[in-house]
Each structure stands twice: as C-alpha cells, then as structure tokens.
Structure 1
C-alpha cells in the first residue's frame, strides 16, 4: 500500500478495464464503502456500462494515464487483459496510487516485478476450515486437482462502438484490429496464458497454502491440440509439479469435457495416509 487510510477515511477509486470483470469488481468495492469515482476503458460500450455500475457522478477516462494523473483518485483497480497488468501496476505505484490488480500480476516472466498478491481462497471461510483439517489426513504425497467444463466456441461478437485498438494492444505485438482477439483475448498468446494460467493461479495457490510449500523443484506442462476454432491456446492442458516437501501435485484443465454447474467444475484432492480431503 502506498498510503495508509484511517478507518473512517473516505476512499475514492477508479476501475481500469470496465468489462464484465471490471463491473463485478466495481460492485464489490462499492459494497465495501469505496466511492467508485472513475471509470477507464478504451472500448466505448464497456466505458458506458462501467459508468452505470460506478458511483453517481463518476468521471470517464479513455486513457489510464489520465486516471493516474488525477489527485482525487486514491486507488486504482486493474481489470484489463493480462498483457497490461504489469505496466499499469508499475505506473500506478509510481504515481502514488494504491492498487488492486486481477491475477495474474504479470503476463510474462520478463515483465519482472514484485508485488504482494492476495488470493480469493485464502479469505474464503470454507477453505480456511479446510486448512484446519490438514493435520488429520496424515502424510500427503500426492495432490490431484482439476477444473473441467465445456466451452463450445469462442465468442462471435461484433464491435458495437468506438475502440482505441492501438491503446488496447499497448505492449503487445502489433496486429490489425480484430474483434475476435478483442473479445477472446484469453485464448491468444500475445495477451494471456489461457485457462491454465487463469485457473492455476487459484488452484496452485490453494495447494501451496494447504501444504505449507515453498517453491517447486520442477514443473512440467503439456497441452493438447487446440479444439476451439480460432484460438491459439489449448483449452485442454495438464501440469505436474514436484515439491521439495516430498509430494507431487497434478492439475488438469479441460474445457472440452461435459458441462458442469459452476459449483461442481473443480476439485483439489489431498491424498493423505489417513484420509483424503476434497476441496471443491
């Protein structure tokens, strides 16, 4: 945190990237009593939706640097595609803002910077209770985890308003404007690591936490063929991790499996010598 706010001090925040996730976070921060005083997006329809979700009188921005220049904004929330996360966080911190950034904190290792990252499951009461049960399962040498569902295709959505494509690309390689890339950025290497990166951020962190782990000794990953027309990143992948604490973790993502309800599409199984703990 760049500043320490008193318990009763009014906090004014701006969302950078007001698509679906940005609008969700806007609602959550408002519930916490934060005034969502600014909305920034390079796609006009998302900007307008973000303004409707924000606090009354919120200011619109079409460039995140204008947000950082505004002394009335205390906090910025970064909910852009992954390839922008690192640079926006660095710029925001250098501008003296506090920052909440969606995972992952960076798209590539050479984005290279260090910030403290909080993960959802660590503040979820179900997982906190599960963590307390780990001393009852015995020695764990294997953890199996998966996240399965069915995605039929990429989104086929036409642009419905003004888009500043050059600003959206930012640090990514130049590419002609492409609505498919804009609406499905999660499936293109220039902007994301795909479902494995997005879901492993949750799952592997929970495994680290439950197992009191440090750093892996080795990580291997395999991906199948791409089965979503137009995508670059496979939707079916598996990762095996070896830990110095003497256990293996295997995490599989498969989005060409059967359709699951959101509450049932993921699992972490800790195979202990006395019992198995399942965390959904």
Structure 2
C-alpha cells in the first residue's frame, strides 16, 4: 500500500484522479464482460450484488467524505463546523434531484412505462445507460475531490484514503457493469453491444474525477463543501435508485445483507487504509 501511495503522490492530483477513476471504469467493464459467458444472471444473485453496491456508497459517503468534511470545517470555519457539511450535502442531493428530473432514464429492474425524467423517444437501452451514468457521476467526483484535498495538504485527507475510496468504488462497480449488461443481453441485444453499453455507463467517472480534482485545487475553502456535495449526491442515488431496485422481488432480505456486507467492506477499507 505504501508503494501505491508514493506512486500517486509523485504524479500529481489530476493525473492520480484520472488513473484512479479509469481503474473504476475498467472494473465496470470487467463486470459487463460477463455477458460473453452468461446470457442472464438470476435475481437472487443480482439483487444482493446491487445491495452491496448501496452499502459501499453509504459507507464511503460518511467515512471518506462527510467525516473529513466536518473535520476540515472545524479548522477552517470555527464555530460553524456543521455548516459546510450540511450545505454541501444538501446541494449534492439537490444536484442529483434535478438531474434525475431532467434526464430521461430507466432504472434497471423497472418496466418501460416507469421511465423517469423528461419525456423522450429514446430506446430502452439508452435509458438504462443514462440511469447508471447518473449513478456514476458522484462516484467519480468523490474520488477526484479526495485526491485534490490530499494534494492540498489537508490533514483530514490522505492519498491512502483516496486510494481506498477508489478501490471501494471499483469493487462496487463490478456488479454495476453486470446490472447494465445482463438485462440488455436478456432482452436480445448482442453480446458485444451489451458489453459496450455496460462499460459505457461508467466512462463518465474519469471526467468527473478530473473535474473534482481540478476544482478543489483552485478553490481550497470549498473543499469541505465539495466533499459533502459528493456525499449528498451518492446518498441520493442509493435511496432513489439502488435500494428500490433491490426491493422489487422476493430477495429483499438477501439484498439487505448484501448492503450490510458492502458497508462493512468500505468501512474497513477506509479505516484500515485511510
């Protein structure tokens, strides 16, 4: 781990964020590649995997983002340490709320009549990819912001913590790739197209990661707000998208245990490595 930390310290925050979020994108592609070997995946497997994804995101939101935001605020805004975290969290959730209302998309296990956002004639495949793309924006942003915070010498953030977050996001991106590609394959889309759309859903992460790193490097006082912003956006995704998708069949208890396991994995990663 020390070697990885030294490597990222030596290449600068923007390039580090790009590499880390490229890794998370490639893990999504690895998950999507399972369509070359399987035509479908049973819901009793997929739902707990999606639950695991939600658990990782919730744990990352607190341990990697909100907690450092509050600690920074105690030093930067004495007497108002709660304010940046609260404002940033609300803005992040609101940002995803408006994206959700404006962008046409369809959640993975939902019927065509349950399309959300602006009315459109987009194909079901496009709507599915747009849904996961919205999901991935805050993940990439979170990784980039944390690398930027560490590069600025903030004692509450570290390269090791940013790497731990990238690893956690990468782990939970594997089932996301499966969750996009498998329904497409089941609906008759070719193996290659199913894989292509599955990996495409996470290509936004490197862009969001670089944006987050650049933003905090030039606006240091906004760091606590930016960390909380990413946390609010991630929690919105979990509550609005991930959890409802795991509660539509009879495997709800397994999904909850998947959530618990995902939370534990991310918490251990952050505390042990960060």
Superposition TM-score tier, normalisation by shorter sequence: under 0.3
After TM superposition, the score normalised by the length of structure 2 is 0.24
Larger Cα Rg: Structure 1 or Structure 2? Answer: 1
Structure with bigger helix share is 2
User: Going by fraction, where is strand more abundant, 1 or 2?
Assistant: 1
Considering Cα pairs closer than 8 Å and 6+ residues apart, tell me whether 1 or 2 has the greater RCO. 2
